[in-house]
């Protein structure tokens, strides 16, 4: 089954404690990205990757890091989480420009 998986689905952590949210896709997509969803703001792109070892900033990259060492995986790293990073995070993957983006189930992160 074609899918994007994310782990964990729910995470409560404290300010400053490094965390990683994993993302994996099984569709051999070159393009992967991370979004955060906040009330009234819709989804905003954090980082994206067009291929292995190729990543770039989206609209709201501050406080986040990513890596793309393998085509199927695109982890999101918060080196020192802060309360303003409390949000719902989605990983997405897709093919060529304009193709449908497939979204993971979401990770709800709370930073206290």
Partner 1 sequence: AQKVTQAQTEISVVEKEDVTLDCVYETRDTTYYLFWYKQPPSGELVFLIRRNSFDEQNEISGRYSWNFQKSTSSFNFTITASQVVDSAVYFCALSEARVVGAGNMLTFGGGTRLMVKP
Residues of this chain that bind partner 1 (CB under 8 A): 31, 33, 35, 40-45, 48, 50, 56, 58-59, 88, 90, 92, 94, 96-103, 105-106, 108
Nearest by Cα to 60 from 27, 83, 37, 94:
37
Strands 76-78 and 65-66, bridge-based pairing: antiparallel
Q: Any idea which residue has 């009330």 for tokens?
A: 39
Shortest CB 73 distance to partner 1, Å: 17
Shortest CB 16 distance to partner 1, Å: 27
Shortest CB 97 distance to partner 1, Å: 5
Phi then psi for residue 106, to 5 deg, are 100, 150
Q: Which is nearer to partner 1, 81 or 104 (CB)?
A: 104
Cβ-contact 94, 74 below 8 angstroms = no
Q: Which is nearer to partner 1, 18 or 97 (CB)?
A: 97
């Amino acid at each position: 089954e074609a899918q994007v998986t994310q782990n964990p689905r729910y995470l409560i952590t404290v300010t400053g404690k490094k965390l990683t949210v994993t993302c994996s896709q099984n569709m051999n997509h070159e393009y992967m990205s991370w979004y955060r969803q906040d009330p009234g703001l819709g989804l905003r792109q954090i980082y994206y990757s067009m291929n292995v070892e190729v990543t770039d900033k989206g609209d709201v990259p501050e406080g986040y890091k990513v890596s793309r060492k393998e085509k199927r995986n695109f982890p999101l790293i918060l080196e020192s989480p802060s309360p303003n990073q409390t949000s719902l995070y989605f990983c997405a993957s897709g093919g060529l420009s304009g193709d449908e983006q497939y979204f993971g189930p979401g990770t709800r992160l709370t930073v206290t």
